[in-house]
């Protein structure tokens, strides 16, 4: 619209100005012509009167003078005539303009003095009149009187108005024709081809076949079209070549690596990109009070696992834009390349209102589903309003995903309990899409799940998936049991799938993990970082146990502090020598339960530090803030022990991160048996975090374990984590999803 206005407005201004000048000149010339005409007529009439007026005036015959003026008043447009004597006194006046006598007429004097006729416009009784005055002479050169002829001039103005009306109509018609012509030319030569080219290129990006654009243009625009076609062609050729190379390499590699996952994605998905949806975004832009902006990777297991996958394979990650500076960093489609300094994939941010975030994320997801799925004795809260907002937010994400999907067989990989309704919403619009959802938290047994008032809608949403993944077989079993008990469906325990309304949903185990090689720096740099951290926290010569968690009631942080307290009570020889270094990333602080938990932990730390502290030693160092992955890695390496005491945890990546970071250094992992990780990391020291006595003993046992045993156990766990890494997790999932996709195509 703006472009069209820019084109049309100057043209209109020029035409308007031109026609106005033309109109003014034309009106002036018409006016002059009419005045000349009027003067000519007036003069003729006046001269005719003057012929007889000479006699009448010389004998002062008033009767004859009156007859004379009345006889001329019928002439065309003549209003009336007046005969004056030589002193400009009225001798006779046409009755119709008898009022004219009262008008002051200084011009009569001028005519008497100059002895020449005079014509001009005069205002009288709010009208404009034309007066022509002719001197009347005796036989010689002496003036004996004057004759005045008065005309009505209204027709003169009517004629001028008519001229202006015609000019205006011409102006309107001309303007409309020019605007129409400009719009037609603009549409044909610019708007339409640009629209066609954009639609074609968008289609090409979504995988539609046509390699030649439908736009045929010449000149500059034609060159642009040709350049766009070249880019499309090179892209397609490069993608094809990459797919073939990937197929070949895939046959050769054994261990799952970033490169092998990339090959698998290229070989299986080809030109189609991977679409990932999660609530938490992997990079958040946060503005601080000083006006600076930081880009932070949030403390989230989902982000820790998924970021290396997207970095390896590319694709689009759609997530809630939750940072207060997020909007500044996206393009017009709400997208940006991430990581910020090395754009490997696209992050598309979805905006939620405060109200939606409150109901969908804090309310339904984190006060309802989160406690429902974690058996930690925190009561789930289900509010109708939250559920409505949860549905609305799922719909918003569905819209955002659907805008992105390629033309054929897209693959969408959804994360977690925030999006139970999203699979159905996507499938309704795109039945050809293959949709997988990974459930990062535990799935409870049917009795527990049946508490949820919206259980059927949630199961219906999830069963639109082609694949639902869990960390553990136990969670898969719980899910199948839940569906079997609560829904009309066919559960196939051989194939581990559920069939409902012509849709088969496969249920599979994929234990999540980490990129075991990521974050490693030069050995010297790492050593320096560790020494600095020990110095700053005054931990030199101390036995350090690290704890790294989001501050969440499922993570058993309070139980950990109580166990340290009991350990020091029971084994006082460790006073002054042992320190728990607890890193706690503030999480969901907006919720009352999390607020209370944060206060409870602060209080416990103070109480136990006060109880046990000696000289400059305190048993607990609590750093309640967010750390970068590199900082956390230094703390892991520094930790003689790592304590993971979750009361219930889908997997727990901290345990795996610690094992990977130690890289052959002695250390020991104390791991809650209620984490998914405990099924794989069987060489850790296993604890029941609810049993404070057992927990305290486990700390002593881990410290006193012979170094050789520690090394051997850590090495076995390191092997497990490096083999069962996050690329294997994603590889398994994507391979399964693409197999399902192929089967559907047949």
* Interacting residues toward ligand ADQ by CB under 6 A: 299-302, 304-305, 440-441, 512, 548-550, 583-585, 626-627, 632, 649-654, 657
Based on DSSP, count helices (H) and strands (E) in the chain, helices before strands: 23, 23
Show contacts of 527-536: CB within 8 Å, 24+ apart: 529/630, 529/634, 530/634, 530/637, 530/638, 533/634, 533/635, 533/638, 534/638
Q: What are phi and psi of 314, to 5 degrees?
A: 75, -170
Instruction: For ligand ADQ, give the closer residue by CB, 105 or 550.
Output: 550
Nearest approach in angstroms of CB 465 to ligand ADQ is 17
Q: Which residues pair with 641 in a beta bridge?
A: 545, 668
Nearest approach in angstroms of CB 375 to ligand ADQ is 13
Instruction: For ligand ADQ, give the closer residue by CB, 441 or 465.
Output: 441
Instruction: For ligand ADQ, give the closer residue by CB, 391 or 475.
Output: 475
Neighbours of 566 (CB within 10 A): 18
Residue, CB closest to ligand ADQ: 301
Nearest approach in angstroms of CB 588 to ligand ADQ is 11
Nearest approach in angstroms of CB 398 to ligand ADQ is 23
CB 498 within 8 A of CB 480: yes
Nearest approach in angstroms of CB 397 to ligand ADQ is 19
Nearest approach in angstroms of CB 240 to ligand ADQ is 35
Instruction: For ligand ADQ, give the closer residue by CB, 554 or 741.
Output: 554
Instruction: For ligand ADQ, give the closer residue by CB, 465 or 651.
Output: 651
685 Cβ neighbours under 8 A, 6+ residues apart: 668, 669, 670, 671, 698, 701, 702, 705
Distance (Å, whole) CA 604 – CA 694: 20
Task: Give Cα separations from 341 to 325, 344, 410 (angstroms).
Answer: 17, 9, 29
Complete DSSP assignment for 606-618? HHHHHHH-BTTB-
Instruction: For ligand ADQ, give the closer residue by CB, 404 or 649.
Output: 649
Nearest approach in angstroms of CB 419 to ligand ADQ is 14
Instruction: For ligand ADQ, give the closer residue by CB, 419 or 574.
Output: 419
Instruction: For ligand ADQ, give the closer residue by CB, 213 or 415.
Output: 415
Nearest approach in angstroms of CB 626 to ligand ADQ is 4
Of 302, 471, 307, 463, the closest CA to residue 373 belongs to 471
Token pair of 29 as six digits: 């010339």
Instruction: For ligand ADQ, give the closer residue by CB, 232 or 659.
Output: 659
Nearest approach in angstroms of CB 260 to ligand ADQ is 21
* Signed CA dihedral, 562, 563, 564, 567: sign only: positive
Show contacts of 303-306: CB within 8 Å, 24+ apart: 303/278, 304/514, 304/653, 304/657, 305/512, 305/513, 305/514, 305/653, 305/726, 305/729, 306/276, 306/278, 306/282, 306/415
């Amino acid at each position: 619209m703006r472009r069209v206005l820019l084109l049309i407005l100057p043209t209109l201004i020029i035409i308007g100005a031109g026609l106005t000048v033309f109109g003014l000149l034309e009106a002036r010339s018409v006016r002059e012509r009419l005045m000349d005409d009027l003067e000519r007529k007036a003069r003729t009439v006046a001269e005719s009167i003057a012929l007889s007026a000479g006699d009448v005036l010389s004998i002062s015959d008033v009767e004859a003078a009156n007859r004379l003026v009345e006889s001329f008043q019928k002439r065309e447009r003549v209003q009336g005539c007046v005969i004056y004597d030589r002193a400009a006194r009225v001798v006779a006046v046409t009755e119709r303009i008898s009022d004219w006598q009262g008008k002051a007429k200084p011009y009569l004097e001028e005519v008497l003095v100059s002895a020449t006729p005079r014509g001009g416009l005069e205002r009288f009784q709010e009208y404009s009149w034309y007066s022509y005055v002719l001197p009347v002479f005796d036989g010689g050169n002496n003036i004996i009187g004057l004759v005045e002829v008065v005309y009505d001039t209204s027709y003169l103005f009517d004629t001028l108005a008519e001229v202006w009306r015609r000019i205006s109509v011409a102006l309107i018609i001309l303007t409309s024709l020019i605007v129409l012509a400009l719009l037609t030319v603009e549409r044909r030569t610019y708007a339409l081809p640009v629209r066609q080219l954009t639609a074609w290129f968008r289609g090409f990006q979504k995988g539609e076949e046509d390699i030649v654009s439908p736009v045929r243009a010449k000149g500059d625009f034609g060159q642009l079209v040709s350049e766009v076609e070249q880019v499309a062609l090179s892209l397609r050729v490069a993608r094809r070549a990459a797919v073939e190379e990937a197929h070949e390499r895939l046959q050769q590699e054994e261990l799952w690596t970033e490169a092998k996952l990339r090959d698998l994605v290229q070989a299986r998905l080809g030109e189609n990109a991977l679409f990932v949806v999660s609530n938490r975004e992997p990079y958040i832009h946060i503005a601080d009070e000083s006006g600076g902006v930081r880009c932070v990777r949030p403390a989230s297991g989902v982000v820790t696992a998924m970021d290396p996958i997207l970095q390896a394979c590319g694709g689009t990650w759609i997530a809630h834009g939750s940072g207060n500076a997020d909007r500044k960093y996206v393009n017009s489609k709400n997208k940006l390349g991430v990581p910020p300094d090395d754009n490997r994939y696209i992050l598309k941010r979805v905006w939620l209102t405060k109200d939606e975030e409150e109901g969908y994320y804090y309310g339904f997801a984190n006060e309802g589903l989160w406690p429902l799925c974690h058996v930690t004795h925190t009561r789930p809260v289900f509010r109708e309003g939250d559920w409505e907002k949860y549905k609305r937010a799922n719909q918003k994400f569905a819209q955002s995903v659907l805008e992105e999907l390629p033309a054929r067989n897209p693959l969408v990989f959804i994360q977690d309990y925030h999006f139970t309704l999203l699979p159905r919403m996507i499938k309704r619009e795109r039945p050809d899409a293959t949709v997988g959802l990974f459930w990062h938290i535990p799935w409870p047994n049917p009795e527990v799940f049946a508490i949820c008032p919206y259980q059927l809608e949630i199961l219906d949403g999830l069963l639109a998936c082609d694949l639902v993944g869990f960390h553990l077989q136990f969670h898969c079993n719980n899910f199948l049991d839940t569906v079997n008990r609560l829904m009309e469906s066919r559960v196939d325990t051989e194939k581990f799938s559920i069939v409902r309304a012509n849709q088969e949903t496969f249920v599979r185990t994929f234990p999540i993990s980490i990129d075991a090689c990521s974050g490693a720096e030069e050995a010297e740099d790492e050593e320096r970082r560790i020494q600095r951290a020990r110095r700053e926290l005054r931990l030199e010569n101390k036995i350090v146990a690290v704890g790294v968690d989001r501050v969440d009631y499922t993570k058993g942080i309070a139980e950990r502090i109580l166990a340290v307290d009991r350990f020091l009570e029971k084994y006082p020889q460790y006073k002054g020598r042992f320190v728990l270094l607890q890193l706690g990333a503030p999480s969901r602080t907006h919720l009352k339960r999390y607020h209370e938990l944060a206060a409870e932990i602060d209080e416990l730390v103070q109480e136990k530090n006060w109880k046990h502290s000696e000289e400059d030693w305190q048993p607990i160092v609590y750093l309640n803030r967010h750390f970068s992955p590199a900082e956390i890695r230094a703390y892991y390496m520094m930790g003689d022990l790592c304590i993971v005491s979750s009361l219930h945890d889908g997997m727990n990546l901290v345990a795996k991160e610690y094992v990977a970071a130690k890289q052959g250094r002695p250390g020991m992992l104390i791991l809650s048996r209620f984490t998914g990780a405990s099924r794989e990391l069987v060489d850790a020291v296993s604890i029941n975090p609810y049993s404070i006595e057992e927990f305290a003993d486990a700390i002593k046992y881990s410290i006193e374990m012979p170094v050789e045993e520690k090394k051997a156990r850590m090495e076995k766990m390191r092997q497990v984590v490096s083999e069962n890494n996050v690329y294997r997790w994603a590889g398994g999932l994507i391979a399964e999803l693409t197999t399902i996709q192929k089967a559907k195509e047949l």
